[in-house]
A and B are shown apart, each in its own frame.
Chain A
Amino acid sequence: MKREIPLLIVLVFGVFMAFQYFVPHRISSNIYQEFNNWTIIIGIFTMVIGIASLLSVHYSKIRFRKEGWGYSFVTIISLIGMAGLGLFGGMENDLFIHFYRFGLSPVTATMFALLAFFIASAAYRAFRARTVLSTLLLLAAVIVMLGRVPIGEIISGWLPEPLQLSKISEFLLYVPNTAAKRTIYIGVGLGVAAVSLKIILGIERTWLGGDGK
């Protein structure tokens, strides 16, 4: 029964969700809304597990003084501090807003801004025209990088339109890029449909845990 009940739940709900998509009736829509709310409620329980797991991992690092335990200490203090401020002081609490605006915001913005430096270094060291394919990739990257910013217009604006960097860049984005992306999306879509069907019909059971038996 431990296996049969979850499999039955997945079958019933999976078939209903596929069915209701094609039946825009009020009853079907109301049940569907209710199921969506259940999904959110069930999802919130995963957050509890996530927080418990985070606390457990970092507490263990602090307790056994593992490498970088100081960062774990900061993580736990930040988690408890921000959660406490938000829960007891509300989302509009000055201290909560200040920690967000002058703590979290600059830190995450700085991390993202550093990407420009890493990309420049990586491009210098790794972008090599070793093979025909890598040369094509390199050329496409250079054209798009220049064609998508104003300087591309200045460099190639005097050329006939089909040879201008902005036009070649537009062609690369609309034609080869779109063709490749569509192929990937269609492949992924068919894969998702096939796996979903296997799960709904109980053929794929690894989600049950263990080896699925």
Chain B
Amino acid sequence: MNQQQMPSEGFWSRLINIDRRWIYLVIGIVVFIPILFPIGLPVQVTKEVQNVYDRIDSLKAGSIIMIPMEYDPATMAELQPMAYAILRHCFSKGIKVISTALQIEGVTIIKNDLELIAAEYGRKYGEDYVFLGYKPYPGIVILNMGEDFRKPFPRDYYGNLLDSLPMMAGVYNYSSCAMIVNINATSGVDYWINYAHTRYGAPLAIGVTAVMATDYYAFLSSNQIFGLIGGLKGAAEYEKLINHPGLAMRAMDVQSIAHSVIVIFIIVGNIAYFSSRKKKG
């Protein structure tokens, strides 16, 4: 900012041209304070998240759910709490899980997430859950899994033949699974809707990042997906439903305050803009 020009500029003009580092500082502070001093704001459950919970909750122990997870370190903050909450719900009820990771950057994270939550409930690999891993070209892989999981994945992530895993006996394709809950931070979620649901008729729910969520309400009202978990707020709702508060519920304080501050910025920015324009005539 030109320091010599500042005294001649009006208050509103200076406010409009404020150094962006002040904005960064304010956001930094409002993000840190609720982390240090949690407020515990109440989380309301939306019907699209409640639907996912109800459908999973209605399953009997021994049922199989497919939970493909496609997220990476960039989107992990939003989707990992969601994955944890859904996996906890499944493993606590004795529901078996088949998972894939069709995004290459996230394979290691997803493998670790599965192992971590399975260990929490004492679930065994091959009996209670199976991780198929990664194969390139998600669209083609999803289509092939609709015929037989063994076509794209003759072996699981660890190199075991699928037929050698007790859980996979008699499990061939999506029709062997009660539903698919796809946790996805990529546009690959469209393949799950177009191929797994539309072509192969698999009941499908999705968990996506908050910015992606608006794209999928159209599929919710057309019943192509039966549930939608959107971003960290959706994860917090699921944590509340399973009565296992975690990172997402704690982060709701941060998100609430940060959103409020951004709204205040927008209001102040507009007041400054119109005031400075009025002054200029």
Q: Does A18 contact B (CB under 8 A)?
A: no
Determine the chain B residues whose CB is within 8 A of the CB of A73 once the complex forms: none
In the complex formed, the residue of A with least CB distance to B209 is A112
Q: Are B259 and A145 in contact (CB under 8 A)?
A: yes
A177 to B218, CA, bound (A): 8
Determine the chain A residues whose CB is within 8 A of the CB of B46 once the complex forms: 170
- Contacts A116-B31, A120-B27, A173-B217 given; does A109 touch B77 at CB 8 Å: yes
- Contacts A105-B73, A108-B74, A116-B27 given; does A124 touch B252 at CB 8 Å: no
Q: Are A108 and B72 in contact (CB under 8 A)?
A: yes
Q: Does B233 contact A (CB under 8 A)?
A: yes
Q: Does A119 contact B (CB under 8 A)?
A: yes
Question: What's the minimum C-beta distance from A36 to chain B, rounded to whole angstroms?
Answer: 5
Determine the chain A residues whose CB is within 8 A of the CB of B257 once the complex forms: 151
Q: Does A13 contact B (CB under 8 A)?
A: no
Q: Are B217 and A119 in contact (CB under 8 A)?
A: no
Q: Are B23 and A124 in contact (CB under 8 A)?
A: yes
A138 to B23, CA, bound (A): 19
In the complex formed, the residue of A with least CB distance to B199 is A21
Q: Does B9 contact A (CB under 8 A)?
A: no
Q: Are A33 and B151 in contact (CB under 8 A)?
A: yes
- Contacts A153-B42, A173-B214 given; does A117 touch B259 at CB 8 Å: no
Q: Are B261 and A120 in contact (CB under 8 A)?
A: yes
Q: Which applies to chain A's interface (DSSP): helix, strand, loop or mixed?
A: helix
Q: Are A150 and B43 in contact (CB under 8 A)?
A: yes
B62-77 CB mask vs A (1 if < 8 Å, else 0) is 0000000000111111
Q: Are B74 and A111 in contact (CB under 8 A)?
A: yes
Q: Are B44 and A124 in contact (CB under 8 A)?
A: no
Q: Are A182 and B43 in contact (CB under 8 A)?
A: no
Segment among B82-90, B113-121, B135-143, B174-182 that sits at the interface with chain A: B135-143
Interface residues on A, range: 35 or more
Determine the chain B residues whose CB is within 8 A of the CB of A44 once the complex forms: 136
Per the CB 8 Å criterion, the residue count for chain B at the interface is: 60
Question: What's the minimum C-beta distance from B157 to chain A, rounded to whole angstroms?
Answer: 9
B31-66 CB mask vs A (1 if < 8 Å, else 0) is 100000000011110100000000000000000000
- Of A121, A146, A149, A177, which is within 8 A of B217 by CB? A177
Determine the chain A residues whose CB is within 8 A of the CB of B31 once the complex forms: 116
Q: Does B255 contact A (CB under 8 A)?
A: yes
A205 to B188, CA, bound (A): 28
Q: Are A125 and B269 in contact (CB under 8 A)?
A: yes
Q: Are A36 and B259 in contact (CB under 8 A)?
A: no
A181 to B233, CA, bound (A): 22
A108 to B73, CA, bound (A): 6
Question: What's the minimum C-beta distance from B51 to chain A, rounded to whole angstroms?
Answer: 14
Q: Are B74 and A112 in contact (CB under 8 A)?
A: yes
Segment among A53-61, A63-71, A96-104 that sits at the interface with chain B: A96-104
Q: Does B186 contact A (CB under 8 A)?
A: no
Determine the chain A residues whose CB is within 8 A of the CB of B220 once the complex forms: 174
Residues of B231-261 at the interface with A, using a CB-CB cut-off of 8 Å, are: 233, 252-253, 255-261
Q: Does B270 contact A (CB under 8 A)?
A: yes
A25 to B227, CA, bound (A): 32
Determine the chain B residues whose CB is within 8 A of the CB of A117 once the complex forms: 23-24, 27-28
Closest 5 CB pairs of A and B: A151-B256, A150-B41, A112-B74, A105-B73, A124-B265
Which A residues lie at the B interface, using CB under 8 A?
21, 29, 33, 36-37, 39-40, 43-44, 47, 91, 97, 100-101, 104-109, 111-113, 116-117, 119-121, 123-125, 127-129, 138, 141-142, 145-146, 148-151, 153-154, 166, 170, 173-174, 177-178, 181-182, 185
Besides A108-B105, A124-B269, A148-B233, 12 other CB < 8 A contacts? A36-B144, A105-B109, A109-B77, A117-B24, A119-B262, A123-B262, A123-B269, A125-B20, A145-B262, A150-B256, A174-B220, A178-B217
